[in-house]
Chain A
Amino acid sequence: MRHLMNPLDFTTEELDKLFDLANDIEQNPAKYAHACEGKILATCFYEPSTRTRLSFESAMTRLGGRVIGFSDAASSSASKGESVSDTIRIISCYADICAMRHPKEGAPMVAAEKSGIPVINAGDGGHQHPTQTLTDLLTIRSMKGRLDHFTIGLCGDLKFGRTVHSLIDALVRYENIRFIFISPEELRVPDYITEMLRARKIPYEEVIRLEDVMPSLDMLYMTRVQKERFFNEEDYIRLKDFYVLDTAKMALAKEDMLVLHPLPRVNEISVEVDQDPRAAYFKQAQYGVYVRMALILTLLGIQVQ
């Protein structure tokens, strides 16, 4: 039985297969509309996350399956002190597959160890959020036609942003990727990542100003500066507007550059950019459903002819 804990759990060949399946689902949704009939997905969300949970629920519903679950710890047996190990044993009796989000890092792995059904890590604290990374990769591959030979700029909170760290880990497995990290000094990408890039001889730059590097980017991955990551309000207010993408900055970019964002945005991408055909972030949310559909089918071992 297979689980998904980390975006690197799948080889690049396995990811190619997964993404081919996701693209086929995109092209032929009717073919997959009954693929999971009689199957149940349990969404065990120990902390609220509307978008990720709804994306999983949409994915299972579009496959003809059903969804059960809870959307915060207070409405689960965790509030009575039940362990993750016990909860998943029970859930294994009720459902065929489980998507788990938990504020504690490694909780889905504990679940996977005790589970009788496949477990998908739907985000564990600041640790991993593999289905976001798969979404990012599918979006890039679908819209650019490849996952190699490009320059990607990652902008905003690069210190605490787990989506950024996971995306870097996933992209270094492909050929000829160049990274440009755009962040304030306080939110620079952690040392262990730059050490890893140097060790693997993967080119990267760290810059302060977004404008300076716009013309050289094939892709720009924007991130939100999260208020909860800061110890004091003053720092947050000083930094949150540091990197706002607007039409003036977009004018400096290549005609086929893509703008990605894991969403939700606060104000780091001006609403006026939404009209730009290079803005791919809402399309990205759509790909999030396709990739979760492909993942559910793959982990359940369901093949559609």
Chain B
Amino acid sequence: MLNVGKIEEGFVLDHIKAGKSLSIYEHLQLDKLDCTVAIIKNARSEKMGKKDILKVECDIDKLDLDVLAFIDHNITVNVIKDGEIVDKKVLVLPKQIKNVIKCHNPRCITSIEQELPHVFVLADEEKGVYRCKYCEEKYHESAKKK
């Protein structure tokens, strides 16, 4: 079993669906942070069979966790301080997400208007349905990549 050391301050994102960690890395824009990141793919999990784990050593105010809930609200977020878990965050679907996903409706104004942000609004909390703020087109999983 591969061992990755403890982090002093930051997040451990556990129970990520196997294969999704790189997508989360992109959405959280971790490439833009000057910090240590460990990506563990296909770790053994009793609950899930296989899972991914992300360890991010950074200031705990630096990450926008709203986007995580949108990607997968089953992810466990452990907040680490002084090498210990100080909090386990429950992910709640954000009411609105901005510039995380793009509207793919060719008839939408976002397809032509300069510098217009792509904003999606939570339309159905129970089903986790997001719709484009402008054209109300439903967001589909297949279009999740930026």
Contact = CB atoms under 8 A, between A and B. Distances in A.
A83 B112 CA distance: 8
A127 interface: yes
Interface in B11-58: none
Given A125-B107, A126-B107, A104 B133 contact: no
Interface string B127-146: 00000111111000000000
Nearest to A104: B109
B136 A84 contact: no
Nearest to B134: A106
Interface string B102-121: 00010111111110100000
A271 interface: no
A106 B114 contact: no
B133 to A, nearest CB: 7
Contacts of A109: 109, 133-134
A126 B105 CA distance: 12
A65 interface: no
B133 A106 contact: yes
A9 B132 CA distance: 17
Contact of A85 (B107, B110, B113): B113
Interface string A84-125: 110000000000000000111111011000000000000011
A127 B116 CA distance: 19
Contact of A105 (B114, B116, B135): B135
A251 B99 CA distance: 57
Interface in B60-77: none
B134 A84 contact: no
Contacts of B135: 105-106, 125, 127
Interface in A67-90: 83-85
Given A83-B114, A127-B135, A107 B107 contact: no
A110 B107 contact: no
A102 B107 contact: no
B80 to A, nearest CB: 40
Given A110-B134, A127-B136, A104 B114 contact: no
Interface string A176-209: 0000000000000000000000000000000000
Contacts of A105: 105, 107-109, 134-137
Contact of B108 (A83, A84, A85, A104): A104
B107 A103 contact: yes
A101 B112 CA distance: 16
Contacts of B110: 106
Interface in A122-136: 124-127
Contacts of B116: 85, 110
Given A106-B132, A127-B135, A127-B136, A84 B107 contact: no
A84 B113 contact: yes
Nearest to A102: B109
A56 B46 CA distance: 65
Contacts of A107: 109, 113, 134
A103 B113 CA distance: 13
A106 B114 CA distance: 14
A57 B134 CA distance: 26
A107 B111 CA distance: 11
Contacts of A127: 107, 135-136
Interface of B: 105, 107-114, 116, 132-137
29 contacts: A83-B113, A84-B113, A85-B113, A85-B114, A85-B116, A102-B109, A104-B107, A104-B108, A104-B111, A104-B112, A105-B105, A105-B107, A105-B109, A105-B135, A105-B136, A106-B110, A106-B133, A106-B134, A106-B136, A107-B109, A107-B113, A107-B134, A109-B133, A109-B134, A110-B109, A110-B134, A125-B107, A125-B135, A127-B135
- Name the 4 nearest CB pairs between A and B, nearest first: A106-B134, A105-B135, A104-B109, A106-B109
